[in-house]
Chains A and B, each alone.
Chain A
Amino acid sequence: MLNNFFHLIGSVSILFLQESGRITLLLWKAVLLTFQRPFNLKDILRQMEEVGIKSMPVVLITGAFTGAVLALQSYTGFQRFNAETFVGTVVALSITRELGPVLTGLMVSGRVGSSMAAELGTMQVTEQIDALYTLAVNPIKYLIVPRLLAALIMMPVLVIFADLIGIAGGYFVSVKVLSSNPYTYMERTWNYLELNDIFSGLFKAAVFGVIIATISCYQGFFTRGGAEGVGRATTKAVVLSCLLILIFNYIITALLF
């Protein structure tokens, strides 16, 4: 019984170390290849469109409703001790520091991460990745580097839009629905918001972008077992990306606190 328990702990630990080692190695190879010629600008732009432009509607809707609900909830609480005028401050700080990057990360991992894992997974099981090797093209350079760069660049861009629309959503609810004073709301928003709040959020977004691209590409790249394997890889990519986003969100917040 005790032996089985230790065996289980050992197996899980080895698996965890193996997986994290392989993910880190893949990321390291991709980083090194980023600086090697040829630079596939066209592929990078295509992926930026996929990660950034096509995710925009989802991110904007998420941002708008998050800002709106945050204004409603904080108004309910702050009203109890006559601090309704600080709703704008809370909305702006929460959105820029936390909710903007985290929710954008979760939405993008669901939309883009799953697509990256499924696309690469299908290429793996249909031997298209092997075909790249035989054509003397490095698949990490050709497939992973553009996705990694696109996620790294476009996640902060998406978060800027999520921040803006989130603050706008909070403003709309506070001013139009709850009849707060628009000048006070805007004043309290901008007076307490520092550049550091925005940049810490953007830094988080960039890290989340790297997490989403690395995990999703890793899961897709090492897919085994046909259509079932692709499904499994896609699920793992989304779940693991989301978990790592939440874990790294805490770590980064603690470091930048």
Chain B
Amino acid sequence: MYLVSCILFFSSCSSWFNLGILGILAHFRHYFIMLSAAEKTLIEVNDVHKSFAHNHVLRGLSLAIRQGESMVVIGGSGTGKSVLIKCIIGILSPDRGNIFVAGQDIGSLKEKDLYQLRKKFGMLFQAGALFDSMKVWENVGFGLLQHTTLSKKEVKKRAIEKLNLLGLHQIEDLMPSELSGGMRKRVSLARAIAMEPEILLYDEPTTGLDPIRADTINALIVEMRKKIKVTSITITHDMVSAYKVGDRIAMLYQGKIIEVGTPDEIKNSTSAIVQQFIQGKAEGPITQAEAQI
């Protein structure tokens, strides 16, 4: 983004001579706005701690997610990845630290404001978390039925549109129990995008799926980002998925983010912990540390 801005900057230098001082200042302001929009932090997690009884899961986790980017958080099972996104959406409250979403401190929000803020989010759950007493279209249109005055007919129409967008046809009147694992995930994704959120959270989107279905879900995540231009956080331990969907990857280990970088930077990381994880080796510093515990 910096490179693009520099090119734009120099390409318009010639025109400066034709402008007065106000024009120059206006140009500076224009580039400043462009740069700040590109680098604007939408979600900021600062020194967050979270414990469950004697299990200290998050131990001073800090992470910044820029507007429009796709951040992937990787880490072993039980390292607190799901806890992190539940803290970001306000389902869990951190014991210490702050989380800012669009400049608002989640911890200091009133309950009513927190529910308003949640309308900015959509979330894909690991097992779908579809409401099993409702039909597929009612699941997808649930947010619309609750928060808008749209008629049921209109909501159903929109739900079908979202389902079609994800390649699901003629399933709107089925119950969730009649769907396969991959279909449940796609329906859950349709529900997550039905309210056209600004931020999408994906909790282990490819877990439990065969490689082809997993790749379909990865493709859908990439496509969603292109189509509805959302900021997304994906938590996974599937490295194929991480490389495919992430602009940046953050490694969560022992309650902290130990490294953040682009997929290439992560692949070439000098950290032995990161290398053991991404290569999926049975022996290394992670297993040694676990053995000591």
Task: Name A residues whose Cβ lies closer than 8 Å to a Cβ of B.
Answer: 38, 122-123, 126-128, 130-131, 133-138
Contact = CB atoms under 8 A, between A and B. Distances in A.
A126 B129 contact: yes
A207 to B, nearest CB: 28
Contacts of B127: 126-127
B100 interface: no
Nearest to A119: B133
Contact of A138 (B89, B115, B142): B115
15 contacts: A126-B132, A127-B125, A128-B130, A131-B123, A131-B125, A133-B90, A134-B89, A134-B123, A134-B201, A135-B142, A135-B195, A136-B143, A137-B142, A137-B143, A138-B115
Contacts of A126: 127, 129, 132
B122 to A, nearest CB: 7
A214 B91 CA distance: 22
A136 B129 contact: no
A72 B143 CA distance: 58
B132 A137 contact: no
A254 to B, nearest CB: 38
A122 B132 CA distance: 10
B119 interface: yes
A123 B132 CA distance: 9
Interface of B: 86, 89-91, 111, 115-116, 118-119, 121-123, 125-127, 129-132, 142-143, 146-147, 191-192, 195, 201
B143 A135 contact: yes
A136 B91 CA distance: 11
B143 A133 contact: no
Contacts of A136: 115-116, 118-119, 143, 146-147
B247 to A, nearest CB: 23
Nearest to B126: A127
A128 B147 contact: no
A134 B146 contact: no
A170 B184 CA distance: 55
Contacts of B111: 138
Contacts of B118: 133-136
A123 B134 CA distance: 13
B86 A135 contact: no
B129 A127 contact: yes
Contacts of B116: 136
Contacts of A133: 89-91, 118
Contacts of A131: 123, 125, 129-131, 191
Contacts of A135: 118, 142-143, 146, 191, 195
Contacts of B115: 136-138
Contacts of A123: 131
Among B111, B115, B201, find the residue whose CB has the most chain A CB atoms closer than 10 A: B115
A66 B91 CA distance: 48
